Each structure stands twice: as C-alpha cells, then as structure tokens.
Amino acid sequence: MAVGVFDLFSIGIGPSSSHTVGPMRAAATFADEVTSLGVVGDAASIRIDLYGSLAATGRGHGTLTAVLLGLEGRHPETILPDQVESRLAAIRDTGKIEFAGSRTIAAGEDAIELHPRTVLERHTNGVTFTVADAAGTELHAATYFSVGGGFVERDGEFTSAPGPQESVGVGSLPEPPYPFRTASELLGHCADTGLPISQIMLANELAARSEDDVRAGLIEIWHVMEECMNISVTRTGDLPGGLTVRRRAKGWYDKLKAEDPDRDPSLYLDWVNLAALAVNEENASGGRVVTAPTNGAAGIVPAVLFYATRYVRGLRGSDMDTRMDGVVRFLLTAGAIGVLYREQASISGAEVGCQGEVGSASSMAAAGLAELLGGNPAQVENAAEIAMEHNLGLTCDPIGGLVQIPCIERNAIGAGKAINAATMALRGDGVHRVSLDQVIETMRQTGADMSSKYKETAMGGLAVNVVEC
C-alpha cells in the first residue's frame, strides 16, 4: 500500500503526532489484537513499557495518557479534547481503564515503565504492551514503533494484524497509477503526462476513493485547520505543562484586527505568524489539530494556506468553489512532497531532529504555494528543495519535553521560509543545481549523524540550557 495524502494529513489531538497520536493508535491496535484472540475476558493486568524518546519526553508529550486511552479502544481521529479530559479524570479517580472498551482492569500511569536510555533496534520511539490473566500468565504481547507523523509500525508477527515492521493503519493507496518515491520519478510522471504535481497525486488518490470524496476529505482537513486557528485566538492564560508559557495568539489577533481591518498586503507576515502561532498553541494544549505531516509542525501548512487564500491573486476575494479548488490543489501538491520525505528519509523528530518535522512541513507548504502561484513541476520541486535546504540540521530540543519552546515560534519561522522559498523558485525557470532528492538524502544523513541529545530527548540544547522554572 502506498502512502496517500490522507495518511500525511490526518485529524488528531495534540501535542505530538509521534508521542501522542502514534502511541494511541498503537495501543488501540493492541486492544484490537487481544479482542481478535478472544482473551479480553481473561485480562486482569496490563504492563506498558516505553523506550527511548517515548520514555524520555513522553510525560510532557502526553504519551502516558495517550496509551491508556488507546487501550480503551479510542482513536486520535475521533476522540475530542473534552472527552480526553473526562476519561483521564475517571482513570485517575478509579485507577482503572475499560480495556478494549469492554473489560475493566486496574491500570494507570503506575502501570507504565519508562526506559529512556534503552533504544530498541528498529526506532527510538518504541512501546511494548503485555496483558496477563489473574494468575499472571501472559495472554498477549506486542511491540510497536511510532515512526513520526502518527505512522505506526509493528514488530513481529500476528495473524490478524500487519506483518513484521509493516505499517498499522497507514498506506491508503492500493496500486496507484503513478507510483513514486523520489522527486525524479514524480517529475517523470509530470513530464510524461503533462499533468501538474497536484493532478498526479489526485490520480493516485482515485485508486482508493472517488474524486468527490477526495475533495470533500481535503476540504474537511482545511476546515479543521481553520477551526483550530479560530478557537486558539479566543483562549487566554498559560499553556499547560508547568513552563508558564503565556498564550499569545489572542493578544496578537486583537491587535492585528484593529490595526489591519482591510488586510494590507504589507502586513501579510504578521498574519502568517499569527496563524502558525495559533495552531501550535492549540496543539500544545492538547487541542484538535491536523497532523501536517506531524503535530510539532502542524502550524506551517495551515499558515501558508491562510496566506494563499487571503493574499494570492485569483483566490483572495474569489467565490468559495474557486477558493476550495485552490485548497485542494495545495494539499495534494504538499502531500506529494510529503510522500518523498516519508519514503526516502523520515518525518520523525526523534529520528532525524526537527529538520524532519518543521523542515518537511516547510518544504511541503512551499511546494503547495508554488503550484498555486502558477509554478510548473520543476519550479514546485525547486521551491520544496529551497525550503528544506535551509532547514538542514535543525535540532529537536524541547524544553521540559513539551511541544512549546522552541516549537511554537519555529512553526512561524518555517511558514515564512516556505513563502520565501516559493517566491524564489518562481523567479527562476525550475533549473537548479541541487535537486530535492539530494536534499532529502542529505537530511537523512544529517539526522543519522546528529547526536541523540538533539532528537526529542530533552537532553541537549535549549532543553538543558534554559531553566524550566
């Protein structure tokens, strides 16, 4: 199964796709496995072992609570933030979960063992679930890896789940007509067909769903992005987690609305910064966001889409159908570029640093904007290349293990880079010295060489040089 646009853009909850969304999906999959084995009724206890980055920063990223909710059979795509709070309160009060939605067993955060210095061979984000009966006899155990962007891979065999190291619930395109895993292959399809990148991606999506469903799904993605921004600019106070990081989106919004009621183009960057800030403040508080392609980088694509729909000639002030056509084209193009990062390198901050999150999101957004601005496939590829080239080496060193500092402001900077990269690419003819494939490979190598201190462990950089309280 090939990766599709709805794998890269999925609705979930904050604050982290790799540490919240992925572990919840893994836990829900484990609960499904136990159900299919027919032993849920015998379950009396459960043990959860978190390894590597999941253990090191899992508490600040919501991993511990996410796996408990997942074991109840809850999924990040459907659970709402207020449901999260009510269920977690019940678990804290009773010390019990509804395993697989049907079996009450004692389980809470004390059932979770943290192994921050133990990294399993497959990936640094590892989690093992073990369920036993009242006599302590193991009923089932499985290990999963949250490999970034909410993608989950399973280790080992299980007859009613994907096989060894195959994706769990990911890969939505059966036999697409234009398969690609490199930018060279993608551009080859464009040259052979005369189609833009968005239409190549659309043709692939049609292998799994109708064009109306693709359009409706992507418009729903955009509506959730907009709703996330709109909710965030109404909130006040500090973000949760203990860093006393003040929410800024509402204050910025109130000032900008008063200063710029007619949207002066010279102030576009202020609005872009606000859009990115708003999304990532909502993500940091565990709100409903779109993974794009990760939660830590969730503000970049919405912020650049905000710019496109408000400032790009042909979309600004246009009728709703025209505007939504632009949104769909943008997301399809951005999704195609996201496939390249997922296939050739990584979108996991725990694996390659923040270059894999903010860098890939900036690259995707630059490509989407470049196509809307009239760029040909070569110019779109160039825009994506420029954006990543200037995010190479970006570390992931969140203070307190929280997706707040430097993550929130970093999204605003990444969105600005995306707009600038698209603008630069459109000034050229698409011919450039460094290819996107070369930059993606460089990012992969840089991530492999990067010290683990700078890969979502909170053991280096700002995480150790800034006093938390």
In this structure, the answer to whether residues 281 and 414 fall within a common structural domain is yes
Q: What percent of the chain has pLDDT over 70?
A: 96
Cα dihedral value 345, 162, 14, 347, nearest 10: 0
The 10s digit of each residue's pLDDT in 298-324 is: 999 999 999 999 999 888 878 889 999
In this structure, the answer to whether residues 130 and 31 fall within a common structural domain is yes
The 10s digit of each residue's pLDDT in 263-300 is: 999 999 999 999 999 999 999 999 999 999 999 999 99
Name the pairing type of β-strands 45-52 and 112-115. parallel
Which residue in 397, 401, 294 sits closest to 353, CA to CA? 397
In DSSP terms, which residues pair with 113 in a beta bridge?
49
What is the rounded end-to-end Cα distance, in angstroms, of the chain?
A: 47
- Rounded distance between C-alpha atoms, residue 289 and residue 292, angstroms: 9
In this structure, the answer to whether residues 12 and 147 fall within a common structural domain is yes
In this structure, the answer to whether residues 251 and 375 fall within a common structural domain is yes
Asked if residue 241 belongs to a domain, the reply is yes
Confidence at residue 391, expressed as pLDDT on a 0 to 100 scale: 98
- Domain extent for 280: 183-207+209-465
Q: Average pLDDT of the chain?
A: 93
Confidence at residue 97, expressed as pLDDT on a 0 to 100 scale: 96
In this structure, the answer to whether residues 126 and 9 fall within a common structural domain is yes
In this structure, the answer to whether residues 345 and 202 fall within a common structural domain is yes
- Rounded distance between C-alpha atoms, residue 88 and residue 293, angstroms: 27
In this structure, the answer to whether residues 393 and 435 fall within a common structural domain is yes
Burial class (CB in 10 A: 0-12, 13-18, 19+), 158: middle
> What is the mean pLDDT of the segment spanning 151-175?
58
Confidence at residue 204, expressed as pLDDT on a 0 to 100 scale: 97
Sheet (strand 138-148) strand order: 112-115, 45-52, 125-132, 138-148, 151-155
Name the pairing type of β-strands 125-132 and 112-115. unpaired
Asked if residue 173 belongs to a domain, the reply is no
Identify the residue whose tokens are 């590829």: 381
| Tokens (6 digits) for 214 | 């693709």
Residue type, 157: E
CB 39 within 8 A of CB 140: yes
In this structure, the answer to whether residues 102 and 244 fall within a common structural domain is no
| Tokens (6 digits) for 123 | 């990936």
In this structure, the answer to whether residues 227 and 351 fall within a common structural domain is yes
Name the pairing type of β-strands 45-52 and 125-132. antiparallel
Confidence at residue 469, expressed as pLDDT on a 0 to 100 scale: 55
- Rounded distance between C-alpha atoms, residue 407 and residue 398, angstroms: 7
Asked if residue 217 belongs to a domain, the reply is yes
Asked if residue 187 belongs to a domain, the reply is yes
In this structure, the answer to whether residues 148 and 190 fall within a common structural domain is no
Does the pLDDT at position 387 exceed 90?
Answer: yes
The runs of H, that is alpha helices, within 345-406 are 349-352, 358-372, 377-389
Asked if residue 177 belongs to a domain, the reply is no
Q: Which CATH number covers residue 32?
A: 3.30.1330.90
Angle at 317 (CA atoms; ends 315, 322), nearest 5 degrees: 45
Asked if residue 195 belongs to a domain, the reply is yes
Asked if residue 172 belongs to a domain, the reply is no
In this structure, the answer to whether residues 348 and 418 fall within a common structural domain is yes
Asked if residue 418 belongs to a domain, the reply is yes
Confidence at residue 157, expressed as pLDDT on a 0 to 100 scale: 46
- Rounded distance between C-alpha atoms, residue 338 and residue 64, angstroms: 28
Confidence at residue 337, expressed as pLDDT on a 0 to 100 scale: 98
Q: How many domains does the chain have?
A: 2
Which of these ranges, 68-72, 150-154, 327-331, 357-361, has the smallest mean pLDDT?
A: 150-154
Burial class (CB in 10 A: 0-12, 13-18, 19+), 333: buried
Burial class (CB in 10 A: 0-12, 13-18, 19+), 407: buried
In this structure, the answer to whether residues 17 and 145 fall within a common structural domain is yes
pTM confidence score:
0.91
| Tokens (6 digits) for 357 | 């999150």
- Rounded distance between C-alpha atoms, residue 293 and residue 148, angstroms: 8
| Tokens (6 digits) for 111 | 């059932």
* Count of Cβ atoms closer than 10 Å to residue 264 Cβ: 11
- Rounded distance between C-alpha atoms, residue 209 and residue 172, angstroms: 10
Which residue in 237, 226, 275, 322 sits closest to 419, CA to CA? 275
CB 218 within 8 A of CB 5: yes
Calculate the alpha carbon distances from 431 to 101, 186, 363, 370, 376 in Å: 56, 16, 17, 15, 11
> What is the mean pLDDT of the segment spanning 67-96?
92
The 10s digit of each residue's pLDDT in 126-137 is: 999 999 999 999
Cα dihedral value 365, 369, 375, 376, nearest 10: 40
Helix-helix angle 300-311:320-344, to 10 degrees: 150
